[in-house]
Structure 1
Amino acid sequence: MNVIEEITPELVVERLRRVLAEMLEMAPADLDADVPLSAFGIDSMTSSVLLGDLQKWCGAELRTEASLGGLSLAEAADLVVAELQHARKEG
């Protein structure tokens, strides 16, 4: 099984939660997976950092102009997993 097949939405949520909590100096448990990231003050710069981290971590190549701010952690995770599945089908 390759890395792409092992990435689940739950793993992505936990990764995003941990990275974002560190950036915001919050406890990961304080970041509700169903609340839009904009509620935590996510701006385009923070979104870019999160997207870069995801790309390094799992290879998900989301558009660099994409903003995660309007998405919840769960929605962002679904987007990442869908992108990985799409990449696997094309590759």
Structure 2
Amino acid sequence: MPYNALGDLYKIEVVKRLQKMGCNVKSVHALNLILEKMGILIHSGDHWLTSKNGVKYTIYSSQVFDADAWHPSIVDAVLEYLQNSGRA
């Protein structure tokens, strides 16, 4: 179920959409690692910080730890990254 009326997604929903598209993303942790490689997340201790480039995919206006809602466009960005890297 979307996070809000704008259709923003929780990470598990992003994972499920990617799986339906045939991507081998098995968990939210795997998604976090992909987002880190894409430069969207930064691993910081036990948390994930949204990078300055990643803010455009969240509901927030600046960097936050453990962002809980993502714009649906993140699905297309991850799919494109995986296809270009040969991992899709």
Q: Specify the TM-score bucket, using the shorter chain as the normaliser.
A: 0.3 to 0.5
TM-score norm. by structure 1 comes to 0.36
The structure with more helix, counted as a fraction of residues: 1
The structure with more strand, counted as a fraction of residues: 2
Higher relative contact order, structure no. (Cα contacts within 8 Å, ≥ 6 residues apart): 1
